[in-house]
Structure 1
C-alpha cells in the first residue's frame, strides 16, 4: 500500500525550513487555541508522532490507547484528537457521551487499512478454534469482531492471559511474530499486515548508524522487522521508550527505531542526550505522512467549527468497547 505524499513542515524532520508561520504568529495561534479550548470545554490530545508544534499545544501527549483512556477520564466534554482516524474512533468508543473531533479527516493509517471486517470474518472462518487478538492500530469494525485488543506494550501479556492455546493475531505481522516468540506456549497465527514506516527499516541501516556511534543504545518498536528487533538493546512501545532512557543512565546516545516524531518528546525530557533516528536520515524512511497531516491551523479550525466529528455505530462501538475493556483488565504481568 503506497503512502500519500504530503509536504513536510516539521522542525524535527526539516529543521532548516522552520515553520510556515512567523514566531509571533505561532505564539498568537497557540494563545487562540488555548482560549478556544477553554471556551469550548475541550481537551487536546496529541500522539507522540505528531508535529512538534501540535505536541507543544496539547494538554496530553502519549500513545493511542493512553490518550483514549485519558479522554474518557478528563472532565471536558469535547476531545480534539491529534492523531489518526482509528485513534479518534477508540476515544469515541471509550467515551461515547463525548464529542470527538479529528482536525484532519484524511489522517488515516496504512496498518489499520491492511485488514477489513470482511477479511477478518473470512480469516475467523478458516480458524474457528482460534481466539482473535487485535492490535489497537485497527478500525472499530475490526475491533468489534475481535475477542480482545492489545497494545505493543501489553501484547504478550494479553496473549498469555487467554485460555485458548490457538491465537489469531492481527493485523501487524512483525508485532505478531515478536509476541509469538515471547509466548512460545501458544500457537500464534499472524495476519500479513504491517506498518510501512517500521517495516521498511533494515538491520543494515541500523548497523550503519551504530558503526558511527558504537556506544549508542538501540531502542526499537516491536512493529519493526525481526532483524532490527534482534539487534536492539530495548524493544518497547513509544511511551516505554521514554522510560527506557532512564534504564541507561550512563548512555549519552540513543538510536531510535520508530517514527521520528518521538524524538521531540525524548529531547524535551532528556536535553543532555543525543537521539538519532535509526535510518540515519530524519524524515526520510522513518516518516509517517498521516501523522504529520494535522497542524495548528487545523486544530484551531476544529475548535471553531466543530470539525471533524467522529462517529461510531452503536453496535460496532459496543463490540469494540468490549474488546478494549477486556484488554485494559489484563494485568501487565499476566
Structure 2
C-alpha cells in the first residue's frame, strides 16, 4: 500500500470545466511513477482527466497501447467494459478503474445468457460483437468489431452466412445499410446517450448552421437522419461524415470548415478543440453527457493510485476466448479504433 501523501486531497465540483489544480496533477504523476502505472483516458472523460492521462483515445486503441506499454499497472479512466478489455489484452498486468460502478447502458443491453439463447436460434450464424460489450459476451463472440471497422468485419464474412450483430441497433443498421446485407440480424440495444441525439435535433441544428459540417457517430439515433439530409441535398453530402471518435479527430485535422456540429457524447469536444482550435465545434445535443463516464473524477483517480482500487479481474478462460475474438478482428487488417 502506498502511503497517503501530505498534499491535501483536491476538491472539484465535477463540472466539465473544473480543473483541480497543479498540486493534484503533480501528485497524480508522482503516484503513477511509484506504481509503474500508465494512465489511460477515454475521449468522453472530464477534461481534467483527459489532460492528465498518458494517452487519451477510444477504448480499443487505449487497450492496445496499454498492452504494448512497459507499465505494470494500467489505470483505465473509462467505463467498466473498457477496463475489462484492457485486462483481456494484458492478462498479466494490474488493471485499475477509479470507480468500478462506472457501467455502460450499451454493454448492459445484452448478457451472455441472452446471447447464448440468440445463438441457439441461429446455430450456423457468425456472431459479431461491438467492443462495447462485457468480457462474458466477448467470450461468446466469433469476431469483434469497432465503429470504424464494423463494415469491413461484416463484409469479411461469406455472403451466405447469417450474421448476428450486437448490441448496438444503430451501428448495426448503418452496417446493414452500407452492405445491403439481408441475412444480418441486429440486436435491439443502444447507448442511452447516443440514442438521445435524435434526428429532429440534428435537423434543427443543421438548418440553423447551414455552413457547418456534421460529424455523426454511428451509434447515434440521428445517423439515418444525417444521411437523409445528405441524400436530399439539405446538407451537401461532402459535409456529412459518419465517424468513430478516432475518425472524428482525423477528420477535424483535415477539415477546412469553420464550424462543425458534433453528434456524440459531449466529452469528445475537448479533444476536437485541441486537435483543431481554429474550428468552432458545437454539440448537436448539449445534454448528451454520459453520467457513467463522468463518475471518474479527479478525486477518484487519486484514490485509485493511492490505494490500488478498484482492481479489475476477468476469468482467465473468458479472457482467452474474448482475446481470440479481438485478434480475429485485428487479422482482417482494419483494426480501427474502439468506438
Structures share a fold, TM > 0.5? yes
Cα distance between partner residues in 1 of 2:148 and 2:52: 26
Moved more, 292-301 or 143-152: 292-301
Question: Over the residues paired in the alignment, what is the CA RMSD in angstroms?
Answer: 1.7
Q: Aligned to 1:227, which of 207, 210, 224? A: 224
Q: Distance in 2 between matches of 1:241 and 1:312?
A: 31
Q: Return the offset for 1:227.
A: 3.0
Deviates more, 1:320-329 or 1:238-247: 238-247
1:110 to 87, 90, 105: 105
User: Cα deviations across residues 279-314 of structure 1 (Å, max 9, x unaligned)?
Assistant: 2xx2x1x11100100111111111111101100001
Aligned match for 2:134, one of 126, 133, 139? 139
Of the three residues 7, 15, 18, the one matched with 1:10 is 15
**Structure 1 residues 200, 11: CA separation in 2 closer, same or farther (over 3 Å shift)?**
closer
- How do 1:251-290 and structure 2 match up within 5 A? 251-279=257-285, 282=286, 284=287, 286-290=288-292
Counterparts of 1:84-99 in structure 2, within 5 Å, are 84-99=79-94
Structure 2 CA distance for partners of 1:244 and 1:8, relative to 1, 3 Å: farther
Question: Where do residues 121-200 of structure 1 align in structure 2 (5 Å cutoff)?
Answer: 121-163=116-158, 165-185=161-181, 187-200=183-196
Give how far 1:228 is off: 3.4
Q: Within 5 A, what are the aligned runs for 1:198-213?
A: 198-213=194-209
3-state SS, counterpart of residue 106 of structure 2 = helix
8 Å contact 1:220–1:228 — kept in the other structure? Answer: no
Alpha-carbon distance in 1 for matches of 2:52, 2:199: 35
Against the structure 1 CA distance between its residues 8 and 234, is the aligned structure 2 distance closer, same or farther, given a 3 Å change threshold? farther
**1:212, distance to aligned residue in structure 2 (A):** 2.2
Residues 162-182 of structure 1: CA distance to partner in whole angstroms, max 9, x if unpaired? 235310001001100101112
1:165/1:185 contact within 8 Å kept = no
Distance apart, 1:185 and its partner CA: 4.4
Counterpart residue number, 1:320? 322
CA–CA distance in 1 between the matches of 2:225 and 2:83?
30
Tell me the distance in 2 between the aligned counterparts of 1:300 and 1:188: 45
- Is 1:41 the equivalent of 2:64? no
In 2, are the aligned partners of 1:201 and 1:228 still within 8 Å (CA)?
no
Rounded to whole Å, the distance in 2 between the matches of 1:152 and 1:214 is 27
Change (3 A) 1:8 1:277: farther
Q: Which residue of 1 aligns with 2:233?
A: none
Q: Distance in 2 between matches of 1:228 and 1:316?
A: 38
Could you tell me which of 78, 84, 88 is aligned with 1:83?
78
Q: How many residues are treated as equivalent by the alignment?
A: 313
Instruction: Describe how 1:21-32 pairs up with structure 2 within 5 A.
Output: 21=20, 26-32=21-27
Counterpart selection for 2:56 from 57, 61, 72: 61
> Please, which moves more after superposition, 158-167 or 262-271?
158-167
In 2, Cα distance between the equivalents of 1:142 and 1:11?
32
Aligned equivalents of 1:183, 1:157: Cα separation in 2: 9
User: TM-score normalised to the size of structure 1?
Assistant: 0.90
